[in-house]
Amino acid sequence: MTDSLNPLTDAVRMPAAALQAWAAGVLQAFDVSACHAQATAQALVRTSLRGVDTHGVARLPPYVQRIREGTIHTRAKPSLQERNGLLRCHGDHALGQPVLELALQACLDRAASQAVVACHIEACGHLGALGVLLLPAVEQGCMALLCQRTPSIMAMPGATRPALGNNPIAFAAPVAGRPPLVFDMALSAVARGAVMAAARDGHAQIPPHWALDAHGHPTTDPHAALQGAMQPMAGHKGLGLAMVVECLAGALGGGLFQPAVPGSAEGSTANACAFLLVINPALAAPSPQGFDNYMANWITGLLAAQGTQGRYPGLRQHECELQRRAEGIPLSSALINELQALARLSGVALAL
């Protein structure tokens, strides 16, 4: 089995618990509250455990940069309100992961007696890998959908500048007797984090369908791509889905519309907005057993149809998490350099 969805050939491995403790310590060194630091570190490390290296601990340095710039509020107090049957979570410009944790837990609490619960989330930092954030829902037997409106970083036909976010969307559902189904994608050809990682790790080229340069031309240079715009996945289909997310997470979620803002693609604002939906199959389906049986039989059929290499969304990440929990999280030399610089800046030593 391949360790990662993005294999790292020059990696040093670090135990997840040690990496999480270090990341939380770094955030606390920059005055982030202990509970928010722990929630953020836990989410980033679990993301790395599941092989989504572009959105795991690699995001810690830019998060700290936003904290130092004052964009992220280290002593924020996110709040919840309920109106007309819908929850609204205001992040108070906190780090995104603890805000999502608050919103998800509120939805899960209500889902114990309510089949469907929805929440609009606003005014928080970058959320990270959405699918990983939904794992607590499936671990409690619920399905969940999460979509986030991002700054405008994606090109549209004829546009002279980025005109639409790549607006990621994730869905997770429990599967009786198997790892959960977890589907997570940005609506650009790839997540922008993949381009950032290519630039950081010194990759000479990226595929030409990933992004455009500042002049609107397809580019294979990751640095030029970061100055330009992402291309949509599946052409007009990706653009259409991104517009759906814009309506759900942007318009309904209370976030201000922002055309392309220099630097905002890396998370320099803490005004992210998202839409979260939680469904309790035990209350929504005619019977809990019926839902469980359907999911189990359906996934079994999908796997059987593929032969010995059968897979479904979320299975590879689950296997990667098991292996990395046992063997440690691989860190590339370029990422280690960034983390060591952060260790010196924070005064929290990184023991590799």
Number of domains in the chain: 1
Q: Which pLDDT score is estimated for 258?
A: 58
Domain assignment present for residue 333? The answer is yes
Residue 170 Ramachandran class (φ > 0 left, ψ -120 to 50 alpha, else beta): beta
User: pLDDT class for 2, splitting at 50, 70, 90?
Assistant: very low
Task: State residue 200's pLDDT score.
Answer: 86
Are 145 and 170 within 8 A, CB to CB?
yes
In-domain check, residue 201: no
Round to whole Å and give the CA distance between 236 and 156.
Answer: 9
- What are the tens digits of pLDDT across the range 225-236? 999 999 999 999
Question: For the chain, what is the mean pLDDT?
Answer: 92
Q: Is the pLDDT of residue 159 over 80?
A: no
Residue 213 located in a structural domain: no
Residue 33 lies in a domain: yes
Task: Tell me the pLDDT tens digit for each residue of 253-308.
Answer: 655 565 554 445 545 567 889 999 999 999 999 987 999 999 999 999 999 999 98
Q: Are 97 and 128 in contact (CB under 8 A)?
A: yes
State how far the Cα of 136 lies from the Cα of 180, in Å rounded to an integer. 11
Is residue 236 in some structural domain?
Answer: yes
Quote the pLDDT of residue 270: 75
Sequence-distant (6+) residues with CB within 8 A of 110 are 87, 117
CA atoms in the 13 A half-sphere facing the CB of 296: 9
**pLDDT tens-place string over residues 54-81:** 999 999 999 999 999 999 999 999 999 9
Q: What percent of the chain has pLDDT over 70?
A: 92
Q: Would you state the pLDDT for residue 161? A: 79
**Residue 255 maps to which CATH number?**
3.30.1370.60
Average pLDDT over residues 117-139: 97
pLDDT at 157: 85
Residue 222 lies in a domain: no
The reported pTM is: 0.92
- Please report whether residue 18 resides in a domain: yes
Whether 352 is covered by a domain: the verdict is no
- Which residues span the domain enclosing 69? 12-188+232-260+269-346
